[in-house]
Amino acid sequence: MGSRVPNAFVRQGRLYTANLARGPAYGERVVRADGREYREWSPSRSKLAEYLGRSGPFPIAEDSSVLYLGAGSGTTVSHVSDIVARGMVFAVEVAPIPFFRLLDVSAERPNVVPVLADARRPERYAPIVGGTVDAVYQDVSQRDQVDIFRRNLDAFGARWGVLMLKARSISHRPADEVVAAELAKLDGLEVTPVNVTASHPEHRAFHVAR
Ligand SMILES: C[S@@+](CC[C@H](N)C(=O)[O-])C[C@H]1O[C@@H](n2cnc3c(N)ncnc32)[C@H](O)[C@@H]1O
């Protein structure tokens, strides 16, 4: 990893996070060392793991608050929860089926707040978040994914975020063309691309900062 990410470690080329709960969250490998558990975080299971493995900027602290949009069943959320062990993860998911599994993951983790909501409507979960967040992480394959990202970044005053963009969800035009048009919506923000295509060929990752 480029900059140091709290509670995340690379050993023999594999990424791990120090487990805030006990045992695996989704069937991943767990190893024990120095009286602690470490969960393997595979880039093939998580775009964020590949992003970090490629030194994508992730200026997070152990007490940071993260708004996570498109939480799914909580695979990546569980590792973000390990990283911000003294912070908070507000995990927003719109689909009830993955949300039920996300509830199981959050039950083991005091710093994860599961939110069943549409990320297009930040005003609906603003009372749950209760103020600003440090960062927004987004992984939703929607036509208006960049609008959703910007709306949430602004609504919660986040200084930075990571956007996982799936061009094919926006348009079937050539991906480069789609991405260029979409990034124009992030006008005024500093946008840094990070390659995550080894395990996630359809996605482009961007670090976005004010
Ligand atoms: C690729 S999956 C997420 C995987 C997850 N980020 C991980 O790495 O473990 C994308 C998720 O975004 C959710 N989603 C799509 N549109 C959404 C929206 N408007 N608001 C909230 N969640 C949404 C989908 O239901 C799906 O569970």
Return the pLDDT at 54: 96
Phi-psi map region of 41: left, alpha, beta (phi>0 left; psi -120 to 50 alpha): beta
What is the distance in A from the centroid of ligand 1 to the CA of 68?
A: 9
9 falls within a domain? no
Q: E strand or H helix at 78, and its extent? A: helix 75-83
CATH no. for residue 141?
3.40.50.150
pLDDT tens per residue, the chain (210 residues)?
445 899 999 999 999 999 999 999 999 999 999 999 999 999 999 999 999 999 999 999 999 999 999 999 999 999 999 999 999 999 999 999 999 999 999 999 999 999 999 999 999 999 999 999 999 999 999 999 999 999 999 999 999 999 999 999 999 999 999 999 999 999 999 999 999 999 999 999 999 999
The domain in which residue 172 lies consists of: 43-209
Report yes or no on 25 lying in a domain: no
Q: How far is the CA of 209 from the centre of ligand 1 (A)?
A: 22
Is residue 80 one of the residues assigned to a domain?
yes
Residue 127 lies in a domain: yes
Residue 32 lies in a domain: no
Tell me how many domains the chain contains: 1
Regarding pTM above 0.75, the answer is yes
Distance, CA 115 to ligand 1 centroid (Å)?
12
Cα maximum dimension of the chain: 52
Q: Decide if 131 is inside a domain.
A: yes
153 lines ligand 1 (CB under 6 A): no
Please tell me if the CB atom of residue 50 comes closer than 6 angstroms to any atom of ligand 1: no
Phi-psi region of 70 (alpha: psi -120 to 50; beta: other; left: phi over 0): left
Residue with tokens 């975020």: 161
Does residue 12 lie within any of the structural domains?
A: no
In a domain, 33, yes or no: no
| Cα→Cα distances 87→17, 123, 130, 141, 206, Å | 15, 22, 14, 27, 23
